[in-house]
Chains A and B, each alone.
Chain A
Amino acid sequence: MKTNSRAGEKIAKLLIWSTALFVLVVLVAISAYILIKGLPRINWHFLTEIPRNMGRSGGVASTIVGTLLVTAVAIIIAMPFGIGTAFYLAEYTKESMITRIIRFSAESLAGIPSIVYGLFGFIFFVIYLNLGWSILSGGLTLAIMILPTIIRTSEEAILSVPKVYREVSFSLGGTKWQTIIKAVFPSAIRGITNGIILSVGRSVAETAAVIYTAGSALRMPVSLFSPTRTMAVHFYILAREGISLENAYGTAALLIILIFLINVVANMLVNRFIAKGR
């Protein structure tokens, strides 16, 4: 019996170790393959030239600009709403019907598939508000998509600020508003920033929600009302329609590097946040 359970433990451990290592290898293999195939494509011309001939030749400059602008619109719009909602949930209410409805909505928004955001963005921003396929439509659609992430991470950051900070501020005669601005916000800002950086990553990586809202135009955008094509959409079209595998690899490698940098920054912030918080 004893030897039996010991053998069982060994088998289980072996199984778990090998599964975990297998997963790690697969994950590393996917990104490594794309990087190996794509990195040689990336050079100064690739970064600074507009796609030519549907993307068969030329670079990806306009898609980089498009990605940055769409993401910037999304973050600028979502930030005040997300952080404001988080402060309302964390500082202004006790658990009640209203907070439960807000939480339920935020969690439901988090689960809605990006293609449904794409449908909504198309019918609401592109058609109903008549913004057309544009950076603005794409950015607003993404703003809604990342809102729940910002709300949740900001609320966690605010709640993890020690109570003492608030008590000290109140005892010094600070009002609620002053306490929030001068005591709570500065200590929660790293966590909030981390949530925003994660949202930047999600926006950059998104395809389904932007392809029918921002469009797929290849020219350099001239205003927020210009249609554009983000890097992820460009990659999708190049790969799916078999336009140019070489340029697809290049675009994908660029995306992975970008996501990697975003993650590194986020991790650095989280580590400092944890070091400071505890």
Chain B
Amino acid sequence: MKKFKEKLSGRIFFIFALSSISVLALITVFIIVKGAPIIAKVGFFNFVFGMKWSPSQGEFGIFPMIIGSVSVTLGAAALGVPIGICCSIFLAEFAPAKMREFFRPAIQLLAGIPSVVYGFWGLLFIVPFIRNFFGGPGLSILAGAIILAIMTLPTIISISEVSLLALPRQYKEGALALGLNHWQTIWSVLLPAAKSGIVAAVILGIGRAVGETMAVIMVLGNAVAVPLSILDPVRTLTTNIGIEMGYASGEHQQALFATGIVLFVIIMLLNSFAQYITRKR
């Protein structure tokens, strides 16, 4: 009886684990089954590199959205990565204990605020600011990049900080003993040593930026066109789904799932890369 119970409990835990991971397979299968037919019909090349998206005429090209996603994400990374790394250095090396105690939960709280609230705030402040000071409609790549940079900060800061704090103390002591000052130690010893963790943090942050939907719908302007400057409105892969899912049907709906496939593949590549880097450490 006792032995039976033992075996049973192990089996039950195994079944839980198995169902948890089969969810990933289920998601993959259902998105592909729903989205692949339209890619097959339009043709992979025409779908991914097509310039025209007009579902009512049966034209499904998502290249402008791919450009949109890439440009907004790069913008967010350009703003968020240096700021995030600075903050993590601040927390790991400079912040007085009292301040750290306040800063960390504040960052955590920030991560919990609904993304739509950030989008709304961007619409109220960032968009008019850009319109007044830089020109253009204000709804733009730049507005999206700023909002996403703020939203990815918690991810970048917390993971980078952890990898800085995880370094053996001897690294720092050795560098200081060799006569380097605090900043030189950080710059030439600690940052290079924590590189893989920081890179993983950046990739995960970028993953969040690529995947964000509702916040950026509010500030990007959502025009389906290849942008010529960072002040132009764009539509991303995620916002394409978010905007049109409400009323799409038939082939149009399939095309939105196909957009999801492309998004899914991009995210899986980013994740695998991040996992590979973390594991190598």
Contact = CB atoms under 8 A, between A and B. Distances in A.
B201 interface: no
A36 interface: no
24 contacts: A6-B181, A12-B187, A13-B182, A19-B86, A20-B87, A23-B153, A28-B106, A30-B113, A30-B150, A105-B21, A105-B24, A108-B271, A111-B207, A116-B264, A120-B30, A128-B30, A144-B23, A144-B27, A177-B5, A205-B112, A235-B120, A252-B114, A252-B120, A263-B108
B120 A239 contact: yes
Q: Is the interface of B mostly helix, strand, loop or mixed?
A: helix
B257 A119 contact: yes
B225 interface: no
A57 B124 CA distance: 22
Contacts of B212: 113
A9 B183 CA distance: 5
Contacts of B150: 26-27, 30
A34 B117 contact: yes
Interface of A: 5-6, 8-9, 12-13, 15-17, 19-20, 22-24, 26-28, 30-31, 33-34, 80-82, 84-85, 87-89, 91-92, 101-102, 104-109, 111-120, 122-124, 128, 144, 147, 151, 175-177, 180, 198, 201-202, 204-208, 211-212, 232, 235-236, 239-240, 248, 252, 255-256, 259-260, 262-263, 267
A115 B260 contact: yes
Interface string B249-281: 000000011001001100110111011000000
B181 A112 contact: no
B103 A24 contact: yes
Interface residues of B, number: 81
Interface of B: 2, 5-6, 9-10, 12-17, 19-21, 23-24, 26-27, 30-31, 34, 83, 86-87, 89-91, 94-95, 103, 105-110, 112-121, 123, 150, 153, 181-184, 186-187, 204, 207, 210-214, 217-218, 238, 241-242, 245-246, 256-257, 260, 263-264, 267-268, 270-272, 274-275
B31 A16 contact: no
Given A26-B150, A30-B121, A107-B275, A116 B260 contact: yes
Nearest to B26: A124
A108 B183 CA distance: 36
A123 B31 contact: yes
B199 to A, nearest CB: 15
A107 B6 contact: no
A144 B30 CA distance: 14
Given A23-B87, A34-B121, A111 B114 contact: no
A119 B261 CA distance: 10
B23 A147 contact: yes
A242 to B, nearest CB: 10
Contact of B116 (A24, A236, A259, A260): A236
Nearest to B207: A111
A85 B16 contact: yes
A12 B183 contact: yes
Interface centre among A89, A116, A122, A207 (most CB of B within 10 A): A116
B30 A123 contact: yes
Contacts of A144: 23, 27
A111 B109 contact: no
Contacts of B214: 207-208, 211, 236
Contact of B31 (A8, A80, A116, A176): A116
Contacts of B112: 198, 201-202, 205, 259, 262-263
Nearest to B210: A113
Given A115-B213, A259-B109, A239 B94 contact: no
